[in-house]
Amino acid sequence: MQNEDKKNAQEEFVFPQLILEETLYTLGQLKNAAPENAHIALAGRSNVGKSSLINALAKRKQLAKVSSTPGKTRSVNLYRVAPYNFFLTDLPGYGYAKRSKSERELWANLIEKYLVECENLVAVAILLDCRLEPQEADKMMVQFALAHQIPIIPILTKADKCTQKERSERISQWTVLIPRGTPLAVSSHSGLGLKELWKKFIAVAEHSCFAQHIDLQQEVEENICSQKEEQEEHGEKENQQQKTVLQDSIAQEPPKKIRTKRGAFAREKEMQKKIAQEKARKKAQEEKSRAKHKKK
């Protein structure tokens, strides 16, 4: 009976859809892409199997171009995850890509600025080759993310090419270097760990401030409805004016964007502060109106 329940629970999960939304080449394009949605960046060395993993997650063979030549990806591809409405950002691979030094420096600068300045970024998934001991380029990437307080999702690719013992050893090595989060072993070929990886991505996106931002908007709308009956005693005209003012203030004055490393979190706090201020203003206005009626 328990085996049947586990089997049914496994069959219930449906892989999300991956849709190539945009192909980007500049920092400005990256920072302005999908500004109201969470981004999870995919980063890894040039031959770590990033394109193969994207195709496996999407259950499509040709969504991302796979090449035997390292460094084939020369743009930033933005994939929308449906129906969860967050984005996977496929960054160019770092490492020994056969490109000119100036081009490698250009992409390194772009990736660095995106990871630090993009307010939409909620985590970076660092892809690591399960067959290899920690490489210097990968360790530098991890140190960079930790230094800038960017949450890390460590992923060990090509796990089907390692024995269980080798996987365990590699997980132990990376757990020491990445204090938070045990590396997840996956395989684009066998499908190992893909379901767990999707669940991880979804959980990170749903717990980000972008998902909470939607909840805050809903809370404002619910507050308006709950106060409607109380406001009607002061006249329909006054009620309509107050409702219009509140809605316009939310629509026309979005939370101020604060350009910091974790700007998304600051934007959420600004939204909460604005809601609290609006509630206080409304309460004061109602008390003033009641006092006016009592005098009459």
Q: Are 81 and 74 in contact (CB under 8 A)?
A: no
More confident residue, 237 or 133: 133
Q: Select from 141, 176, 207 the last residue of a domain.
A: 207
199 shares a domain with 166:
yes
pLDDT at 70 over 70: no
Q: Identify the domain boundary among 207, 222, 249.
A: 207
Average pLDDT over residues 37-50: 93
- Are residues 125 and 258 both part of a single domain? no
Q: Are residues 49 and 191 in the same domain?
A: yes
Structural contact between residues 157 and 184, judged by C-beta atoms closer than 8 angstroms:
no
The burial class, CB within 10 Å (0-12 / 13-18 / 19+), for 27 is middle
Same domain for 40 and 169?
Answer: yes
In this structure, what CATH number is given to the domain that contains residue 158?
3.40.50.300
Answer yes or no: do 115 and 42 share one domain: yes
| 152 shares its domain with 233 | no
Of all residues in the chain, the percent with pLDDT exceeding 90 is 43
Residue 256 scores a pLDDT above 90: no
What residues contact 210, with CB distance under 8 A and at least 6 apart?
36, 37, 38, 86, 120, 122, 264
Name the average pLDDT for the chain: 78
Range 121-135 average pLDDT: 95
Regarding whether 134 and 42 lie in a shared domain, the answer is: yes
Domain limit, last residue, from 190, 207, 224: 207
- Given a cut of 80, is residue 10 above it in pLDDT? no
User: Does residue 92 have a pLDDT over 80?
Assistant: yes
Distance CA 56, CA 109 (A): 29
CA–CA distance, 149 with 123 (Å, rounded to integer): 10
pLDDT of 263 strictly over 90: no
Note the residue count of the chain: 296
Residues 147 and 230 in one domain: no
Q: Confirm whether pTM is higher than 0.75.
A: no
**Whether residue 194 sits in one domain with residue 255:** no
Is residue 261 located within the same domain as residue 123? no
Which has the higher per-residue pLDDT, 241 or 2? 241
Q: Is the pLDDT of residue 73 over 90?
A: no
- DSSP strands (E only) in the chain: 17-24, 39-44, 76-82, 86-90, 121-129, 152-157, 184-185
Average pLDDT over residues 11-21: 89
Query: Which domain range does residue 250 map to?
Result: 210-295
* pLDDT at residue 57 greater than cutoff 50: yes
Q: Which of 45-59, 70-84, 222-236 has the highest mean pLDDT?
A: 45-59
**pLDDT, tens digit, 9 for 90 and up, residues 274-286:** 777 777 787 887 7
Q: State the total domains in the chain.
A: 2
- 180's CB contacts (< 8 A; 6+ apart) are 151, 152
**Does 65 lie in the same domain as 51?**
yes
